[in-house]
Structure 1
Amino acid sequence: MAGGLVALLDDVAALARLAAASADDVAAAAGRAGSKAAGVVIDDAAVTPGYVVGLPPQRELPIIGKIAIGSLRNKLLFILPAALALSALAPWALTPLLMLGGLYLSFEGAEKIIKSLSGKHAIEEVAQIADPAELEARQVSGAIRTDFILSAEIMVITLNELTDRTLAVQGVVLALVGLVITVLVYGVVALIVKMDDVGLHLANSGGPSAGFGRGLVKAMPVLLKALAIIGTAAMLWVGGGILIHGLAEFGFAGPEHLVEDAAAAIGGGSGVIGWLVSATAAAIVGLVAGAIVAGLMHLKPGAKH
């Protein structure tokens, strides 16, 4: 009896060690895969604050909450099952799908630059909607729609790093990355959009933090403008980078080799300068590809100019 109990305890201990090793393996895989999607995460965090522009301050957090729930629903209910089915049935389709997403991101980035150069701004479009409920629904649906593309990119990039793992590990890592990134992105977005309210409260308090509060209020427009620029740049560098790598996967490695050679020549192939060279080259590719798509879209009958 005692021997049976000891054997049972040994089995339990072995299972516990296996579970711990599996958890470490999943965590490590999630960390590596999530880091590959960092550019898209930056893009997501930079783009989202623009969707609460022109909305009442008291509705900002509830709207961000709605967008976050929509983002989580996108990732866990729609994208994750589709990604696992893709991994099991058509793994060859990962690269083409990534490239389509990269082309879309490039188009979005180029379109933002075109609108900016033509004098069109999102705040002007928002100001044309008088009904608060309609405006809120429009902003939430637009944000969730954009998030779907970005979330799909994040999940497919993550899945592309897990091709050697079992389907179960892929599912757990995708769910973990999706949950952590959603909480991280929309937590940061919530802090950003309430920064001016916090600053106003501190400024009106009359205490020693009043000066800091006024600084926050003054910094808010600058921060939003910087985020818009960062978001556009991230769209172009991530989109262009995906296109360059995708072409290499299909045997057209010339652009990737040119970028690598430029990074090696200017920045030694590593470090901040090397990364900046690679990111700039990718952004140029993204801008060209996105501008071509934007031009074709504007040639469509009925397209808005």
Structure 2
Amino acid sequence: MASGLVALLDDISALVKVSAASLDGVPAQVAKTTGKVSGIVIDDTAVTPKYVVGLDPARELSIIYQIARKSLFNKLVLLSPAALVLGYFAPWAITPILMLGGAYLCFEGYEKVHELFSSPADGPAKVEDLPVITPQELEQQRVASAVRTDIILSAEIMAIAYSEVSGQAIVNQIVVMVAVAVFITVAVYGFVALIVKADDVGLHLAQDVHHPTTQKLGRGIVRFMPHFLQILSYVGTTAMLWVGAEIIAHGIPFTAHLLHELEVALAHLPVVAWLAKALSCAIGGLLIGLVVEKLVGLVKKLRPQQQ
């Protein structure tokens, strides 16, 4: 009996040692994965502030917290387990699902560009024609829209995280994916919170109780932030098109090969290579978004006839 217990304890000890040894490389794996998804992280950071602009400043941090909480929930409870299950039972399904998400990002990006450059056919909308909603309803709409966009970007992040550890032990896979989910969510939405509250910091610094140089800095921040947020909105829209098209391109061997050849051809000019790839994907995303928008419009026209 005693010998059996000793043998069992030896087995447990050996298992713990193996698990500990495999977990030694987790920080490096997390850092490597974070580096690979840095482009998507930048896109996520650029997209999110536009969902807060125009709302009550007192509610900004609360709104960001709501989006961050739902983003982390999606990564940990929905996307990570889904990636693990699909990776084990149906690895072929991951790419098509991501491509559908990419098409949705292109569609959203195209709609933003279309709104930016188009003008209403019948002139400005009358006040009485506009839908009346409460601030709470507008906040809920913004949060829901942000979460829909975030879940696509988060799915891509977790898919890349899974691809980095797919050949390792299940414990390693889970630990790395959880670490990536938490780290990226905190980093992205922490930085977004700093961006949207920068104007409040500027107002505080501009008060008369501070040194004139500090006041000047505060006033400069206040004047600069609206322009910065506008630029960030454009960056976010471009990012939707770029990332969405790149997801789709990587799912098609021919276009994936073209992107690779483009990078190889401009390898001696890394910045130019990055710009060429981003511009190509953004233009491609705009075209994909146009096609999706036409398909959505066609479905909407056909739906009443089927009822």
The aligned residue for residue 195 of structure 1 is 198
Q: How does 1:246-285 map to 2 (within 5 A)?
A: 246-248=251-253, 253=254, 255-265=255-265, 267-268=266-267, 271-285=270-284
**Structure 1 contact 63–136 (Cα < 8 Å) conserved:** yes
Alpha-carbon distance in 2 for matches of 1:24, 1:128: 56
Q: Alpha-carbon deviations, 1:203-245, whole Å to 9, x = none?
A: 1234231111111111111111111111122222222222222
User: Aligned equivalents of 2:142 and 2:67: distance in 1?
Assistant: 9
The answer for the alignment partner of 2:298 in structure 1 is 299
C-alpha distance in 2, partners of 1:35/1:75? 18
For 2:94, the aligned partner's letter is L
Determine what percentage of the aligned residue pairs are the same residue: 49
Distance of aligned partners of 1:43 and 1:85 in 2 relative to their CA distance in 1, 3 Å threshold: same
User: Within 1, Cα distance between the matches of 2:185 and 2:119?
Assistant: 32
Match of 1:143 among 143, 146, 151: 146
SS class of match (2:54): coil
In structure 2, give the amino acid aligned to 1:22. Answer: S
- Residues 256 and 68 of structure 1: CA distance in aligned 2, closer, same or farther (over 3 Å): closer
TM-score (ref. length: structure 1): 0.83
Deviation sequence 1:116-137 (CA, Å, 0-9, x none): 11248xxx9xx95552222222
Q: Does the 8 Å contact 2:47/2:239 carry over to 1?
A: no
1:212 aligns with 2:179: no
CA distance in 1, matches of 2:18, 2:167: 19
Counterpart mapping for 1:74-93 below 5 A: 74-93=74-93
Secondary structure of 2:165's counterpart equals coil
Residue 26 of structure 1 pairs with residue 26 of structure 2: yes
Aligned pairs, how many?
283
- Please, which runs of 5 or more residues in structure 1 have no aligned partner? 1-10
Q: Structure 2 regions of 5+ residues with no counterpart?
A: 1-10, 121-126, 303-307
Structure 1 position 166, deviation (Å): 2.5
Whether contact under 8 Å (1:106, 1:287) holds in the other structure is yes
Say whether residues 1:229 and 2:231 are aligned partners.
Answer: no
- The one-letter code of the counterpart of 1:92 is W
1:157-168 mapped onto 2 (5 Å cutoff): 157-168=160-171
For the aligned residue pairs, the C-alpha RMSD in angstroms reads 2.7
Query: After superposition, what is the alpha-carbon deviation per residue over 1:271-295, rounded to whole angstroms, capped at 9, x for unaligned?
Result: 1111211222222222221221122
Q: Distance in 2 between matches of 1:38 and 1:128?
A: 39
Match of 2:3 in 1: none
Residue 105 of structure 1: aligned partner = 105
Q: Which amino acid aligns with 1:235?
A: M
SS in 2 for 1:209: helix
Q: What TM-score, normalized to structure 2?
A: 0.82
Evaluate the alpha carbon distance shift between residue 215 and residue 16 of structure 1 in structure 2; reply closer, same or farther with a 3 A threshold. farther
After the TM superposition, which parts of structure 1 deviate over 6 Å for at least 4 consecutive aligned residues? 11-17
**Is the Cα–Cα contact under 8 Å of residues 43 and 235 in structure 1 kept in the other structure?**
yes
Shift of 1:39: 2.3
